[in-house]
């Protein structure tokens, strides 16, 4: 293994921030059920931790899109690998992502999901790399951490399918 992982955001800080964001979302959606759309695979750890802390009724669905190959650069090509199981008609949808980088994945995803008639669509991400944004129209409603332009792993994020299970956010040093 040529690369090393340095801790960027410790586990306790990640969990504390998720609790704060969950409380804010629960206040914003007071009295309304939320339909969480988890973007696989990276979003799965964050989605579970977030869902456990929400106090409004929650339903969950999963979608898998691919925009990255095995490396660290976006290909710009986004395709649906696994679609949602449930219709979105009339639902208050909250898309849950691991990280927003160029914004290409989300720009594409939001466009397709909007066509399915949800009552609303909002976006929640564990990490954001604002410096890297190409799709400026992507508006993030809830961000746990804005981070510098470094390649990170852990809490669902991978490098070549490795390190998703780390309970903290780390930077890969090559
Ligand atoms: P975007 O389409 O460029 O915004 O890329 C979004 C996707 O790229 C994320 O959902 C991740 O799967 C992946 N990605 C972007 N930056 C990183 C990173 O630093 N570590 C791991 N995956 C990343
Ligand atoms: Mg992702």
Strand partners, 152: 171
Distance CA(145)–CA(86), nearest Å, equals 30
The H helix count followed by the E strand count for the chain is 3, 9
Q: Is 101 a catalytic residue?
A: yes
Q: Is the CB of 102 under 6 A from ligand 1?
A: yes
Give yes or no for residue 49 CB within 6 A of ligand 1: no
Confidence of residue 153 (pLDDT cuts 50, 70, 90): very high
Confidence grade of residue 2 (pLDDT, cut at 50, 70, 90)? confident
Question: CA-to-CA distance for 36 and 21, rounded, in angstroms?
Answer: 14
More confident residue, 116 or 68: 116
Atom of ligand 1 nearest to the CA of 43: 10
The C-alpha atoms of residue 168 and residue 163 are separated, in whole angstroms, by 10
pLDDT at 66: 81
Domains and CATH numbers, the chain: 12-151 (3.40.50.2020)
**What mean pLDDT is reported for the chain?**
93
Nearest CA to ligand 1 atom 11: 99
Find out whether 81 and 109 touch, Cβ atoms under 8 Å.
Answer: no
Q: pLDDT tens-digit profile of 50-109?
A: 999 999 999 999 999 886 555 555 555 678 999 999 999 999 999 999 999 999 889 989
Report if pTM > 0.85.
Answer: yes
Query: What token pair was written down for 87?
Result: 């219709």
Q: Can you say whether residue 103 is alpha, beta or left, with left for phi > 0 and alpha for psi between -120 and 50 degrees?
A: left
For a ligand 1 pocket test, name from 62, 68, 104, 139 the mutation site with the most ligand atoms within 8 angstroms of its C-beta.
68
pLDDT value of position 33? 98
Which of 1-5, 6-10, 136-140, 148-152 is least confident? 1-5
pLDDT mean over 25-45? 97
Which DSSP category does 43 fall into?
T
The 3-state DSSP class for residue 79 equals strand
Identify the CA nearest to 143 among candidates 1, 35, 21: 21
Residue 77 pLDDT: 64
């Amino acid at each position: 293994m040529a690369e090393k992982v340095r801790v960027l955001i410790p586990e306790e800080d990640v969990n504390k921030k998720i609790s704060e964001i969950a409380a804010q979302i629960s206040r914003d959606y007071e009295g309304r059920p939320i339909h969480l759309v988890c973007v696989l695979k990276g979003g799965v750890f964050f989605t579970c931790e977030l869902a456990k802390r929400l106090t409004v009724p929650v339903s969950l669905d999963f979608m898998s899109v691919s925009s990255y190959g095995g490396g660290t650069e976006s290909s710009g090509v986004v395709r649906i690998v696994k679609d949602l199981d449930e219709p979105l008609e009339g639902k208050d949808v909250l898309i849950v992502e691991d990280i927003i980088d160029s914004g290409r994945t989300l720009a594409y995803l939001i466009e397709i999901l909007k066509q399915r008639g949800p009552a609303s669509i909002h976006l929640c991400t564990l990490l954001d790399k604002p410096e890297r944004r190409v799709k400026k129209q992507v508006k993030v409603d809830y961000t746990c951490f804005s981070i510098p332009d470094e390649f990170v792993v852990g809490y669902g994020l991978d490098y070549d399918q490795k390190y998703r299970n780390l309970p903290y956010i780390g930077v890969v040093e090559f």
